[in-house]
Chain A
Amino acid sequence: MPIAGEVAIVGAGVTRFGVLHDRSYLDLIAEASFAALEDAGVGLGQVDAAWLGTAEPWTAGLVGDSGAAVAEALRSGPMPVTRVSNFCTSGMEAVRGAAMAIAAGEYEVCLAIGAEKMRDVTPRGSLVAKTAEHTHPTIAKGRTAPGQFALLARRYMHEYGATVEDLAEVAVKNHDHAVLNPKAHFRKPITKEQVLAAPRVAEPLGVFDCTPTTDGAAVLVLASRSWAERHARRYASSKVSASR
């Protein structure tokens, strides 16, 4: 059974995003999960399985290196939990795993959890230093995340005639939206001039063109379409799960 049309999102929960030194990794999972379950009108006992997406579990003392973190955070009964990791797409990977299991008919209701504590690191540069030290001995040497996106940005500008001013407008737009979002990390509007004058991270990208490092968690409750039709207060399903 394909995901499209057969898997429904029946609830969602999100924590505030920011530098959250007073909230632990498990706190974030719990807050977002219980908010999502309440939004869905689903009890914890009705959840069949969960997927946990965390890219950097070692910043939380290895706690997020196993799906057992979910059982610990939620005090749930025995439940299969799969921890997935795919760098920046770890959250989406959790959604994808839960959706495929539901589409396969194995489960009816699942949690897809994304949680990250990126800011519990000292010194400040250690996340990037770790990437530099633990990459492939030759092929990946010199590679960083913004460094790779910078390559795409430069090529995109070459092929489509876009400029750094065009990119700056994206950052301005994002910050404008954040002013309206009480959960956003940064909530002040910025100007195009500020974006262009900011230090370069990996040319042509500057500080405001790049995502900040942030703590936070978000959870979706996913269900089969038949479950959603019978029980959900409201739900959404996708028309396609991927496109070329």
Chain B
Amino acid sequence: MRLARTGRVVTFTRDHVYPLGGPMSMTVVDLDGGGRFYGQTAGDVPLEIGMGVRLVPRVLHRGGGLPHYFWKVVPDADRR
């Protein structure tokens, strides 16, 4: 079963103690059709609980000199 790439914000935070790269924005998403995603938000964007969001592939980190890709959360412009 494929998880949807769209969903709604359950909760979020801006974490100031994450030691690499300044405040870390983390979001929990209820995916459309089932499943829950917990990961980084792409960029420092204002979020609200219930907001429509999308998962997009982004570079998570560059361990060992190689880019590691994973999903990050962005507001879904098509769905408020």
Residue numbers of A with Cβ under 8 A of B are: 125, 128-129, 132, 137-139, 141-144, 146-147, 150-152, 154-155, 158, 199-204
Q: List 9 A-B contacts (CB under 8 A).
A: A141-B39, A141-B40, A141-B70, A147-B13, A155-B28, A158-B49, A201-B16, A201-B17, A202-B15
Flag whether B1 is at the interface (Cβ < 8 A).
no
Please name the residue on chain A nearest to B27 by beta carbon.
Answer: A151
Residue pair B13, A138 in contact (C-beta under 8 Å): no
Given A147-B24, A154-B11, A158-B11, 19 other A-B contacts at CB below 8 A? A125-B17, A128-B17, A128-B18, A137-B63, A139-B38, A141-B60, A144-B15, A144-B17, A144-B18, A147-B13, A147-B15, A151-B26, A151-B28, A152-B11, A154-B49, A155-B11, A158-B49, A200-B14, A203-B13
- How far is B61's CA from A137's CA once the two chains are assembled, in angstroms? 9
Please name the residue on chain A nearest to B11 by beta carbon.
Answer: A155
Name the residue in A141, A146, A158 with the highest tally of chain B Cβ atoms < 10 Å from its Cβ: A141
Query: Which DSSP category, helix, strand, loop or mixed, fits chain A's interface?
Result: mixed
Residue pair A138, B70 in contact (C-beta under 8 Å): yes
Residue pair B68, A150 in contact (C-beta under 8 Å): no
- Interface residues as binary, B1-27 with A (CB distance below 8 Å gives 1, 0 otherwise): 000000000111111111110001010
Q: Tell me the chain B residues, 26-45 only, with Cβ under 8 Å from chain A.
A: 26, 28, 38-40
Residue pair A147, B11 in contact (C-beta under 8 Å): no
Name the residue in B11, B13, B49, B63 with the highest tally of chain A Cβ atoms < 10 Å from its Cβ: B13
Residue pair A151, B40 in contact (C-beta under 8 Å): no
Residue pair B26, A147 in contact (C-beta under 8 Å): yes
- How far is B20's CA from A202's CA once the two chains are assembled, in angstroms? 14
Residue pair B13, A202 in contact (C-beta under 8 Å): yes
- Rounded to whole Å, the gap between the CB of B21 and the closest CB of chain A is 9
- How far is B24's CA from A201's CA once the two chains are assembled, in angstroms? 11
- How far is B10's CA from A158's CA once the two chains are assembled, in angstroms? 10
Task: Answer whether A147 and B61 are a contact pair too, CB < 8 Å, given A154-B49, A155-B11.
Answer: no
- Rounded to whole Å, the gap between the CB of A51 and the closest CB of chain B is 30
- How far is B24's CA from A146's CA once the two chains are assembled, in angstroms? 12
Task: Answer whether A154 and B13 are a contact pair too, CB < 8 Å, given A132-B19, A132-B20, A141-B61.
Answer: yes
Residue pair A147, B18 in contact (C-beta under 8 Å): yes
Identify B18's interface contact among A132, A139, A200, CB under 8 A: A132
Residue pair B15, A142 in contact (C-beta under 8 Å): yes
List the B side residues contacting A139 at CB < 8 Å: 38-39
List the A side residues contacting B17 at CB < 8 Å: 125, 128, 144, 146-147, 201-202
- How far is B14's CA from A138's CA once the two chains are assembled, in angstroms? 19
Identify B14's interface contact among A158, A199, A202, CB under 8 A: A202
Please name the residue on chain B nearest to A126 by beta carbon.
Answer: B19
